[in-house]
Structure 1
Amino acid sequence: MSESISFEELCSRLEDLGTPAKTEDRSVYWILPMTLGLAKTASARVEVFMCGQKLFPRTAIVRRHLEHGRWKIAESADEFDASRVVLPSAPHFVPLAAFLAVELIKAGIGTRRPLQEVLNDVEPLLELALLRSALGEEHILGLVGELICLETLLDAVANRPEAWSAVLDMWRGYEAGQRDFVIGSTSLEIKSTQLESSTHAISGMHQVEVDERYPSEERLMLLSVGLAPVIQEGQTLPDVVQRILNRLSAGVTKANDEFTPLQQRFLDDVYRYGGTGSRGYDHRTESTSKAYSTRYRSTFTPRLYEMEDEQMLILRHQDVDGLFVRPSSVQYTLELPNLINGMNPAANWKHSVTAMIRKYLNIL
């Protein structure tokens, strides 16, 4: 195929590609034979293939999405070695894939120029595209931290299916401007860190003290969660989501592999997490995506802090009263000690949260 192919023609060719019947297959349109190709999978996701040696991206999000391997073409015995980038199935990602292909051609793919140099030129554009197609690392860590807490809440009512919906109601972290969890008049803020200590970025004093923007709030607790990426062991975001799905299906009869209404609701809430300006994580289509294959281990046992404790030495509204400072604009790093006093943090965070939710739901 000529290197002068237009953006519009690439879009048309990609849209016209047939959808393969088998999950592991793909329909490929070769822009440059066995060099640069665009493909469509059985789930209608869009793939960009760059044939050749393994590539080494410089940015974290491109590393998460770029996968080198041997791939199969639909209804053919043909296989090829290439680096692959997978984009979502939404219609607007078709022109995005075509745009990236055009830029790869401009950068010299298929010429004597080394493929790594071609990627280096195009990577900034690829990074921008991927930032809108998947959760960033910070959001993944935050979501995993919140779901670890949600697991414990569901475990507290494991034998009371009628309470599962009420527990899901308590999770608010997927909504912008909301507390992560609300249990009656008690709020829980979940903070995740990759460090070995409870060190967290704070944006606005409302994150660490009872705030009037939440009228029913009388008590605020902070759950500090340490998560660091590892090569082996650990758990992925899809692992945690699947565990919660399993909890929500216990004892429920469903047809084939269909999700129950409660599971659908949970998956929709997960998808909404961190979705402002980008796509959220869709477990229904992305559970096997390389973008979400990073495994995380706990760097310390989660710590549940009582934020209204007088010995909690943090900045509060009263510290800036009378100053020309807007409390919600204050940003700083919080470094919480392992132990503030005998009651803070809680001796066992799971026991404390379990007792809290069972008391609120009047479960003996």
Structure 2
Amino acid sequence: MAQQGDGSFEWLKEQLRGLDSAAAEDARDLVWADESHSVGVSRDPQGRLEIFLPGTPLRATIKAVSDSLSHHQWWFADGGVIEASKLQFPGAPHFDGVVAFLCAELLENGASSDLQIAFARTEQSIALALTRAALGSEILVGLAGELTLLDGLLSNVEPPQRWQVLDGWAGSMPSSRDFQLGATGVEVKTTNGSSSTHHIQGLHQVEVGYADGGEVETSLFLLSLGIRWTDPGEGGDTIPVLVERIAQNLEVDDRELFHQRLLQYGGDTGSGYRHDRDKFVASYARPFTIRFERLYDMTDPRIRLPKRGDLSTFTDLDVDSLSFRVALPQQVRGDINPTTGWSTVLDRLIGDFATR
């Protein structure tokens, strides 16, 4: 099924707001932005927006764009077929306006007469949209993961230890650890995917080191959380719900510290989460569920990652500048590493911390 419009931003945004997700991977409902069918939009089965640009394969010069661009043959229910390049956008909440703007830009830049030239003229805007969406989604996912752990810890320690848990959460503050629970360090890595594949921002995130207060760490865990965004009515937590639940478990003075650490999450006070302002913002209020939790003991020798000492011979290397991706297996050491099951994960992290 296809609809077509006048190419205006307002019309497109309204149409995309009501556009349903595809029923299957090989099925699409297209909204054509103009009568000449030079720019079309659909949603995939996961609800992510796609721009279809019929014709021969387009050439992208910016990596962020080329990584999201593909070319295929597409069939319609009425037997029609087209060849088209497809731009795949991230599943960032409320991306309708951005995609509507990009479609309008493509048309304004002459997509109906020379698609490659129009695409080249619009590519910088496409790249900017893709980069910002990826960054925003990454920060949102990270915040959801850290708040999930903070909520779990606070709900499972006695009131005298709650201040210590909150004090051990870095939030927006510069810190070598996401959580420092006494001599135990915890890095929280959250993903939308089904595997424990994560970006590591420095060797310190995977090496036992020192707490911010100078105390020598005795253990280091990486908590890998997989989350799934759900539709309203399907259940799950939201960031505002977690914030309110966490605040209820804190003394009044501690709540103020908690909200201050939230405000700069992601490094920007302008875009950080402020509960009174943002609790009804759709991106934050989007529900999610935890699909898996895996607590990896990073001191296990079976986890083979580079160590600082391994790089000592590279005298011209700034070791602290390294970043890389890890792909941790579902099983490192039987059912011992990683620890799975939310209550078991919390018990292991709290350990003797609650008895201090």
Q: Contact (CA 8 Å) 2:176, 2:204: kept in 1 or not?
A: no
Residue number among 262, 266, 275 corresponding to 1:274 in the alignment: 266
Report deviation, 1:355: 5.1
What is the DSSP-based 3-state SS (H/G/I as helix, E as strand, rest coil) of the residue aligned with 2:283?
helix
Shift in alpha-carbon separation, 1:141–1:327, aligned structure 2, 3 A: same
- The answer to whether the aligner puts 1:140 opposite 2:112 as a matched pair is no
Q: 1:204 to 1:52 in 2, by over 3 A?
A: closer
User: C-alpha deviations, 1:329-353, integer Å up to 9, x for none?
Assistant: 2222211111111421125454354
| Matched residue, 1:198 | 196
Corresponding residue for residue 234 of structure 1 = 236
Displacement of 1:174 in angstroms is 2.1
The match for 1:305 among 277, 285, 296 is 296
Could you tell me how far 1:266 is from its partner in structure 2? Answer: 1.6
CA contact (8 A) 2:176 2:205 kept: no
2:210 and 2:164 mapped to 1: Cα distance?
A: 24
**Does residue 333 of the first structure (1) align with residue 310 of the second (2)?**
no
Q: In the alignment, what sits opposite 2:40?
A: none
Amino acid at match of 1:142: G
The aligned runs of 1:49-68 (5 Å cut-off) are 54=14, 56=16, 64=94
> Structure 1 288/362 Cα, relative in aligned 2: closer, same or farther at 3 Å?
same
Q: CA deviation at 1:211?
A: 3.2
Which residue, out of 229, 254, 260, partners 1:262? 254
The one-letter code sitting in structure 1 at the alignment partner of 2:246 is I
Taking a change above 3 Å as real, the CA distance of residues 167 and 177 of structure 1, as seen in their structure-2 partners, is: closer
The Cα of 1:51 is off from its aligned counterpart by 8.3
TM-aligned CA deviation for residue 358 of structure 1:
5.6
Instruction: Tell me what 2:62 maps to.
Output: none
CA distance in 1, matches of 2:228, 2:284: 14
Kindly state the Cα deviation for residue 265 of structure 1 after the two structures are TM-superposed. 2.4
Partner Cα distance (1:224, 1:350) in 2: 15
In angstroms, what is the RMSD of aligned CA positions? 4.0
Query: By how many angstroms is 1:178 displaced?
Result: 3.2
Corresponding residue to 1:168 among 152, 160, 166: 166
Supply the distance in 2 between the matched residues of 1:348 and 1:271 (Cα, whole angstroms). 30
> Structure 1 pair 311/141, CA: closer, same or farther in 2 (3 Å)?
same
1:344 counterpart = 2:343: no
Give the AA of the match of 2:94.
R
Give the unaligned 5+ runs of structure 1.
1-48, 68-103, 108-116, 250-259
Query: C-alpha separation between the residues in 1 aligned to 2:95 and 2:174?
Result: 26
- Aligned match of 1:17: none
| 1:14-35 CA distance string (max 9 Å, x none) | xxxxxxxxxxxxxxxxxxxxxx
For structure 2, list consecutive stretches of 5 or more residues without a partner in the other structure: 1-8, 17-48, 52-88, 98-104, 109-117
1:154 equivalent to 2:184? Answer no
Correspondence for 1:35: none
Equivalent residues in 2 for 1:81-230, closer than 5 Å: 124=125, 136-157=136-157, 160-211=158-209, 214=212, 215-218=214-217, 219-230=219-230
Shift of 1:245: 2.5
State the SS of the aligned residue for 1:261: helix
Give the structure-1-normalised TM-score. Answer: 0.59
1:320 equivalenced with 2:318 (yes/no): no
Q: What is the Cα deviation at residue 164 of structure 1? A: 2.0
Say if 1:187 and 1:217, in contact at 8 Å, map to a contact too: no
2:347 is the alignment partner of 1:354? yes
Q: Distance in 1 between matches of 2:209 and 2:268?
A: 24
User: Structure 1 stretches (4+) deviating beyond 6 angstroms?
Assistant: none
Residue 63 of structure 1 deviates from its aligned partner by 5.5
Task: Mark the CA change 1:242 to 1:211 in structure 2 (over 3 Å): closer, same or farther.
Answer: same
User: SS of the residue aligned with 1:211?
Assistant: coil
Is the CA contact (8 Å cut-off) linking 1:61 and 1:131 kept in structure 2?
no
CA deviations over 1:16-74 (Å, ceiling 9, x no partner): xxxxxxxxxxxxxxxxxxxxxxxxxxxxxxxxx9688605487659852768xxxxxxx
Post-superposition shift, 1:192?
0.6
Secondary structure of 1:172 counterpart? coil
Q: Which has the higher contact order (CA 8 A, sep 6+)?
A: 1
Deviation at 1:298, TM superposition (A): 2.2
Partner of 2:24: none
Q: Say if 1:327 and 1:234 are closer, same or farther in 2 by CA, change over 3 A.
A: same
Question: Which of 254, 271, 280 is the matching residue for 1:288?
Answer: 280
Helix, strand or coil for the counterpart of 1:226? Answer: strand
Aligned pair in 2 of structure 1 residues 314, 156: CA closer, same or farther (>3 Å)? same
8 Å contact from structure 2 (residues 200, 326) kept in 1: yes
